[in-house]
Structure 1
């Protein structure tokens, strides 16, 4: 990535959109200092994150990576407790405040009665909610999510994104999430950052940014963007193809 500059607004869901390999995940990792920034700097409320200790940064920014894994025997409650380690001293156990946060995190994601369940007994949607609960237990105001609805069916995609909306609107969180589905971004995000080849193509509110021209510049496809029932809809056009000859196989 080069010549990249972007500001994320507080208290909204910003969707990072772009083709595979364009730098979306790298941008999130740069914010977290998981990859080096060779030029320029990343600031949080005007403060260079390089001046923050790892623990201080973890108290302010939580991260849900693209792929998450844990031992099958681990219970949901044990997983959520891991989120508290970012705020505790190395040898310190959970405090009463920590335990309250753990309980609140499970309640927010709707899994408060499943703390005893092993992770391998949960459905795909429940497991994703479990990882979000772990992130919430970190108690950071800013949450970065790399493809939070990846590998989920439509029902669970909407369920998880509705939960993310609730985190913002009810609990005051700021969320930056990598999303691949343009219609999910249009339905749930407030702002959109559109990326291609390691650079920012366009950034702004969804209705001002997610248009035919930007989709063409980012993905190289033509699309119709229109409103239906008060919601923005993105419909990629099928490319015209030269009719091909039929293949036949004979024994």
Structure 2
């Protein structure tokens, strides 16, 4: 677990050999517009890391760059000490999986067939479908509660059901490192917590490294053992949630006055927004 980034050096990265993922002065963006600017992070092997921050702060851009979906303008990204840009695509896909914010399934594809696509990195050109492939897909469907949907067309599913199916495809890929960009989007609160519990099981029982972008600060604090806080394309703090998530930081990053209290269920930081009465027509 990393310690909180010192306020005097927001880009400091611990020098150790426990990092599954490391970025060094990464700059990335779209159409020559830099969104992520000089970001250094270290994600410990076997950790549950949550990236938080306001909209448009660069969370998804960073995740896409780490997954090599988005090219970097500068800097390096290391996976177990190896630059990802020096790795063959298929090799990278067996080591690192990404669930993006939104995905489009081919028309007419059924759930089981979509989840099975997670096995492609593990198959050679002439390999046949194996018992290992079948077991991985079955386990992924069961873990996400989508087994009963396996014969359905993806296009017929609700938004929440589709999201769980995409998570199942990512799980079927069976990568040691799993990147998830807002995976609880479209899900009701029960399925939100169910997925976050599932990711904790993957981390604790299967030693997976989980990196997840979340908007809910209380969910991030409850499940993650490592927070990365971003604002305006930069990392402003990182470390243990109990050290990082303070009222001062929340107000500085989100412009939200709040109090922090221990969660009565877990003891983790609980963000409680202060009620601010505003004047004007909307106040009535």
TM-score by length of 2: 0.80
- Shift in Å at residue 134 of structure 1? 0.7
Please tell me whether the aligned partners of residues 84 and 94 of structure 1 are also in contact (alpha carbons under 8 angstroms). Answer: no
Q: Deviations over 1:60-112 (max 9, x none)?
A: 00010101232463222101111111222345442232222222222332333
**Cα distance in 1 for residues equivalent to 2:52 and 2:225:** 13
* Residues 1:27 and 2:62 aligned together: yes
Equivalent position to 1:53, from 74, 85, 88 = 88
The answer to whether 1:215 aligns with 2:225 is no
The 5 Å alignment of 1:44-193 reads 44-71=79-106, 73-90=108-125, 92-193=127-228
SS of alignment partner, residue 152 of structure 1: coil
What CA RMSD, in Å, does the superposition of the two structures yield over aligned residues? 2.1
Cα displacement (A) at 1:11: 1.4
5+ residue gaps, structure 2 = 1-35
User: Is the Cα–Cα contact under 8 Å of residues 101 and 181 in structure 2 kept in the other structure?
Assistant: yes
Structure 1 range deviating more: 104-113 or 20-29: 104-113
- Are 2:283 and 1:238 equivalent residues in the alignment? no
Relative to total residues, which structure has the larger strand share, 1 or 2?
2
More deviation, 215-224/109-118: 109-118
Helix, strand or coil: the match of 1:39? Answer: strand
Offset at residue 48 of structure 1 (A):
1.0
Larger RCO, structures 1/2 (Cα 8 Å, 6+ apart): 1
